[in-house]
C-alpha cells in the first residue's frame, strides 16, 4: 500500500478571496507582518499499489482529471 499527499494550490495571479479574508483575520488577531495568505487543499490518498512510479503516474492522472482544475490550480504529489 502506498500513501500519498496531494496538495492543490491556486496559480499565481488567480485572485483568492478566501485567502485574503484569512489574511485580514490573522492581522486582526494581532499577528504582525502577515504577508499574502493563499488557501489550498490537501488530499491524503491510499493506493493498493506497490510500484511507486505507477502510483505517481496514477496520482498525477487523478489530479489532471478531477482533483485539480488546472485552469486555476497547480498540484504537487508527494508519496509518504
Partner 1 sequence: MKSAVVLLPGLNRDRDMIAALTKISGKPPITVWQTDTEIPDVDLIAIPGGFSFGDYLRCGAIAARMPVMRAVAEKAAAGVTVIGVCNGFQILVEAGLLPGALMRNTSLKFVCRQVKLEITNANTMFTRRYQPGQIIRTPVAHHDGNYFADADTLARLEGEGQVVFRYADGTNPNGSINDIAGIINDRGNVLGLMPHPENLIEAAHGGTDGRGLFESALGIAA
The residue ranges that bind partner 1 (CB under 8 A) are 13-15, 17-18, 21, 65-67, 69, 71-72
Nearest to partner 1 of 69, 76 (CB atom): 69
Residue 25 beta carbon to partner 1: minimum distance, rounded to whole angstroms: 11
Angle at 65 between CA 64 and CA 66, to 5 degrees: 100
Burial class (CB in 10 A: 0-12, 13-18, 19+), 58: middle
Residue 79 beta carbon to partner 1: minimum distance, rounded to whole angstroms: 22
Residue with cell string 485574503: 20
Nearest to partner 1 of 41, 52 (CB atom): 41
Amino acid at each position: 500500500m502506498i500513501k500519498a499527499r496531494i496538495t492543490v494550490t491556486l496559480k499565481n495571479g488567480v485572485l483568492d478571496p478566501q485567502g485574503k479574508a484569512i489574511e485580514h483575520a490573522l492581522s486582526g488577531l494581532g499577528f504582525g507582518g502577515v504577508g499574502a495568505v493563499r488557501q489550498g487543499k490537501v488530499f491524503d490518498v491510499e493506493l493498493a499499489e506497490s510500484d511507486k512510479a505507477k502510483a505517481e503516474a496514477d496520482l498525477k492522472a487523478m489530479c489532471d482529471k478531477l482533483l485539480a482544475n488546472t485552469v486555476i490550480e497547480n498540484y504537487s504529489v508527494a508519496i509518504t
